[in-house]
Amino acid sequence: MEGVPDMNKQKGNMIFAATLIALIIWLISAMISEALVDPVALKKSVYKIDVPDHEAGAQVPAQKEGPEPIDAFMEEADAIKGKSLMRQCMQCHSFEKGGPHKIGPNLWGVYGSSIGAKEGYTYSSGSKKLADQKWTDENLNHFLYKPRAFMPGTKMAYVGLKRAKDRANIIAYLKTLV
């Protein structure tokens, strides 16, 4: 039994040594990383945070309404990329001539047609309110940007596309479905 206290003492020494070695490694790593990385103080903040001064009566800047105009993007639009982007729409829409309506209407021939005018599809109240308009570049741009903002009351749950280039590519693809 005389060897038992020596084992506990030896085990304690090993734990102390391991802790000491870990601290030394941490200290050396910190010194090396400080020597390798020389931080540069910025002259001005990278992120500008606009805080409106309501007490001083300052005007809050107006938020940009709607998407940017699509005309410039349409010049370089790629229908093949648009078709690829439309894959996410295939769950709710069909694209072939004479194809069936799904949750949403068949999109064959939709470009240039009246909004909410596909035979055999029951449109939402939002679509019916816009029946006097046609699916043009600009209307599709607004609809694809934020469907619910362009057409309040739409059944479409899709939140929209933020990138104008993607919207232009989809519009270019829809133009091919004639």
pLDDT tens track for 40-82: 777 776 776 666 655 555 555 555 577 889 999 999 999 999 9
Number of domains in the chain: 1
Q: Judge whether 136 lies within some domain.
A: yes
Contact 79, 173 (CB under 8 A): yes
Q: What is the pLDDT of residues 96-149, one digit of tens each?
A: 999 999 999 999 999 999 999 888 999 988 888 999 999 999 999 999 999 999
How far lies 75's CA from each of 71, 94, 105, 137, in Å? 7, 26, 28, 12
Q: Judge whether 36 lies within some domain.
A: no
Q: Judge whether 171 lies within some domain.
A: yes
pLDDT at 170: 96
pLDDT at 8: 82
Q: Judge whether 48 lies within some domain.
A: no
Both tokens of 89, joined, read 């729409």
* Mean pLDDT across the chain: 86
Supply the range of the domain harboring residue 90.
71-176
Q: What is the pLDDT of residues 8-39, one digit of tens each?
A: 888 989 999 999 999 999 999 988 888 888 77
pLDDT at 104: 92
Q: Judge whether 15 lies within some domain.
A: no
| pLDDT at 2 exceeding the cut of 60 | no
Where in 14-168 does DSSP place strands (E)? none
Q: Judge whether 45 lies within some domain.
A: no
% residues pLDDT > 70 (the chain): 86
Burial of 96 (0-12, 13-18, 19+ CB in 10 A): exposed
User: Could you tell me the CATH number of the domain that includes residue 83?
Assistant: 1.10.760.10
Q: Judge whether 131 lies within some domain.
A: yes
User: What are the phi and psi torsion angles at 132 (to 5°)?
Assistant: -85, -5
Q: Judge whether 66 lies within some domain.
A: no
